[in-house]
A and B are shown apart, each in its own frame.
Chain A
Amino acid sequence: MKIEILGTGCAKCKALEKNVLQALAQSGKFAQVEKVEDLNKIMAYGVMSTPGLVIDSKVVSVGKLLSPDEIVSLMGS
């Protein structure tokens, strides 16, 4: 599984990255985590409201700071 956090460095983006790591620790799942700050890559996903969350190349959330629990349930589906 690959999890990408899309964000240009706003406070919420950093908080989301932290929550992703916590979600992984909670669920015991393995995933490659990447913080995407390159605007062109963010645009390529069609995301405008950061932070965005991408799991296995699919956008699952935009403009929201998800809690670790919410991220766990998104990883499961």
Chain B
Amino acid sequence: MFEWWQRLVDRFVYANLGLDPHSAAGSALDFFLFDTVKILILLTVIIYLVTFLRSFFPTEKVRDWLEGKHPLVGHVAAALFGIITPFCSCSAIPLFLGFLQARIPLGVTFSYLVSAPLNNEIAIAMLFSLFGWKITALYIGLGLIVAIVSGWIVGRLDLEEEVLIKPPATPPPEIDLPKIPLRERLKEAWGYTYDLLKKVGLYVLLGVGVGAFIHGYVPSELIVRYAGGDAWYAVPLATLLGVPMYSNAAGVMPLIQVLTEKGMLLGTALSFMMAITALSLPEAMILKKILSTKLIAIFFGTVTAGIIAVGYLFNAVLSQT
């Protein structure tokens, strides 16, 4: 899809600037120019599409739909809705209480709370531009399984008592929002895309910049030795490292891509990426206002275990083939 751009960049770096394709500086610069433009174009297109689609699925509608569904259907549907609906940790509390108010089981609510940040539009767009559709599909598919299973486990543990604030006893009233014309939706999606690009653009440049440096200057043997992943602790370590990087999926993902290119195992990389998006400390701090520490610990513990399992499983399958 971007061969034309690769040819242009190659000509500019190697012919016009006269850098040697086998030199560290040449390959780093070529990598940087090619990747930043490709990522920014794909990021714009994907975020725009996701934002446009999501204007048809406000969280309030999702709740109405999930209301009164069988728990099994609920877990799967909640996880799927998590892909398309927006999520920001600042609205985690009203969302949580709103779901419980509609008598949606605690476990189903958690399935949604795992899936929504995991499948956020930036992560999906970055994955697609860096790794292609196969890895993106794997990430989404395995992420859905983690969301469904961890929500199901939390639901089975009867932890309703650990919710500190009781949702209102009356069911939520149906909201009848004014119809938004298509032209408005298209315009709104663009406004949102533009804001988001402004926010993450710098991180993309930084991430690809450091990635380009590693690509050109750091020998593969070094990466393989430290992040190679034959070591048993690689997956849990990557998961733990991912937790503090929450807001920076855009900056960290280019690094992960270079690391896999240089020998980091894909399962380890997947665990790393899932930990970045799904396990967020700010979200935990916010949820502490309405959930007991015990419930938050169980919730995070289950998701962490799921993410680590995905990494091991994937590395094992990969080493078989």
Contact = CB atoms under 8 A, between A and B. Distances in A.
Interface of A: 8, 10-11, 39-40, 42-50, 59-64, 74, 77
B175 A62 contact: yes
Interface string B174-186: 1111100000000
A43 B60 contact: no
Q: Which of A40, A44, A63 has the most CB of B within 10 A?
A: A63
Contacts of A47: 60, 94, 98, 175
A63 B176 CA distance: 14
B178 A77 contact: yes
B175 A59 contact: yes
Contacts of A11: 90
A49 B94 CA distance: 7
Interface residues of B, number: 27
A50 B173 contact: no
Given A62-B177, A74-B178, A43 B101 contact: yes
A48 B174 CA distance: 12
A69 to B, nearest CB: 12
Contact of A10 (B91, B165, B178): B91
B178 A60 contact: yes
Contacts of A74: 178
Contacts of B167: 43
Contacts of B86: 49, 63
B59 interface: yes
B9 interface: no
Contacts of A77: 178
A41 to B, nearest CB: 10
Contacts of B99: 48
Interface string B130-172: 0000000000000000000000000000000000010110101
